[in-house]
A = this chain, B = another copy of it.
Amino acid sequence: MEWNHEHFATLLAATAVLLLGARLLGEIAQRLGQAAVLGEITAGILLGPTVLGAISPGLQGALFPSTGPVPVAMEALGMIAITLFLLVAGMEIDLSAVWRQGKAALWLSVVGIAAPFAAGFFPAWQFPELLGASGAAKPLLFALFFATAMSITALPVLAKILFDLKLLRSELGVVLIAAAIVNDLSGWIVFVLVLSLMGSEGPSPDLVTTIAATLVFAALMLTVGRYLLHRSLPFVQAHTSWPGGVLGFAVGLALLCAAFTEWLGVHAVFGSFLFGVALGDSPHLRHATRSTIERFVSFLFAPLFFASIGLYVDFAANFDLLLVVLVLLVATVGKVAGCGLAARWLGFNTRQSVAVGFGMNARGAMEIILGTIALRAGIIDERLFVALVIMALVTSASTGWIIQAVLARRRAVRIVDHVRAETFVAALTEREPLRAIELLTDKAAQAAGVDPALARRRVLDREALVSSALGNGLALPHARIPGLSEAHIAVGLAPEGIDFDAPDGQPVRVVLLMLTPEDDAEVHLGLLADVGRRFSTAEVAEQCARASNFTEFRAFLNAADGER
């Protein structure tokens, strides 16, 4: 099978379109308060046989051909992408957090696996055809797969939701995360057993050997491997170029572990996942290394993989409403009831217990990866695959809303969401602080539809108490205004600086004028905290002040979010 110009052009174009589409829809999903993976999968469904293939089969076939070297290469790329994605997923797992939480997390995770596992196992064993077993699959094998697929909570989705709701560091949040970690690890080990039970294809057909080798590998990786990595990381970082040495070391060894478990007949993702757990646990792993790997994988490889899912399956033709509803029901009832009751028993109040139940109900990438593997291995049919993907999307998408409603929590407020081009002044001509504040107050009041005179009085009264210059080149005059329904921020830039008599003596280059609803202290404090976090160094205001238009300013402000 030889490559030619046309093949290479197709491969590059397909990769580019898939990546751009996935990133675009991923961004839109995030704007709507959802996980990016929802958008990425949707992009694949749009570009695959389901939508583009239905509209223009010729174009779809030309961009994503099903014969020749291109699909062979796309499959290999998907394999490497998912292997690296599991490396990152593993790195996010903090085993020590589990020990710290002790009893509560352990109980929650045991029940959180056992209940949905049982809820999935018996129906699947009794009615395999109804639940989408492929004709060739043995009932026990199918039941084990189905039960596992019901049991794994999506750790990254859960973490993201808790972060957005400012619950990540709360007692509830920490217990949830620790339970999800144990859940994740044990779910994978069960799934690996299921995979080795299939054992028809691998080079090691002896079932007992495969299972034993896998368990030994997992145990060694989390003990000896973890220790060796912890000892060798400082050596690698001390004696190789930075950060190239440690990047090559980490990615190379992850691929090697993946090759080993794939060769065992289990699956590559298991090897890189365990390696990631062992690596991520070391305090010697530097933040810069972690974030370089995470950025590249989460923003390039993961979107490619999740979008490619939609390329292989026709989601319209294989949509089976009854099956979708059944899978959703089994998954949700087992998980929510089991975890909710366990939480109640552990001493959480009713609202919190409901939140725990629905929190653990978030599924995501893992179910889809399991589904992909099972589909290729011939255990499940395409109808069940589609139902599993939809189940993962629906539970992920609903978790945030439900926790929000039950606990009456709100998403973290960010100033970027409240600045507008209409209330932006690129170059303040006023050199007198109070005049500049008045000008911006008028703009904000106008946009908010409140009385400018009232707003002025409130802002200036507050300013008279103490200057709103916070240092680092930033001033933040503000007031709470009755009758306002949401926060309004007017921005004024002064590249040459205005003397606000700031505590650090620095001239002010960015003035953020903030009007917030009088009856909503939370938004007010949230915005103040966000401003403080973003303008933590003097460079931020300096850079922002150099913006020549609103888009540039917003870009600087957005990037000041840098790490989190």
Contacts and interface: CB of A to CB of B under 8 A. Distances in A.
Contacts of A553: 238
A10 B255 CA distance: 11
Contacts of A244: 23, 26-27, 36, 295, 298-299
Nearest to A261: B9
Most buried by B among A36, A77, A555, A561: A555
A552 interface: yes
Main secondary structure of the interface of A (DSSP, over half): helix
Interface string A228-239: 000001111111
Contacts of A555: 233-238, 284
A80 B301 CA distance: 13
A97 to B, nearest CB: 21
A75 interface: yes
A499 interface: no
Most buried by B among A10, A12, A17, A238: A12
A79 interface: yes
A101 to B, nearest CB: 26
Contacts of A1: 1, 72
A245 B27 CA distance: 8
A253 interface: yes
A170 interface: no
Interface in A430-452: none
A30 interface: yes
Given A6-B203, A259-B12, A252 B23 contact: yes
Given A19-B255, A80-B15, A243-B295, A558 B238 contact: yes
A237 B551 CA distance: 9
Given A295-B243, A295-B292, A202 B16 contact: no
A12 B299 contact: no
A83 B12 contact: yes
Nearest to A27: B240
Given A13-B259, A288-B562, A248 B554 contact: no
B243 A299 contact: yes
A118 interface: no
A69 interface: yes
A287 B545 CA distance: 18
Contacts of A245: 23, 27
A168 to B, nearest CB: 18
A255 B16 contact: yes
Interface stretch (A128-136, A137-145, A262-270, A325-333): A262-270
Contacts of A394: none
A189 interface: no
Nearest to A295: B292
Interface of A: 1, 3-6, 8-13, 15-17, 19-20, 22-23, 26-27, 30, 36, 69, 72-73, 75-77, 79-80, 83, 201-203, 233-245, 247-249, 251-253, 255-256, 258-260, 262-263, 265, 268, 284, 286, 288, 292, 295-296, 298-300, 303, 549, 551-555, 557-559, 561-562
Given A11-B79, A238-B557, A247-B300, 4 more contacts: A1-B1, A20-B253, A292-B292, A292-B295
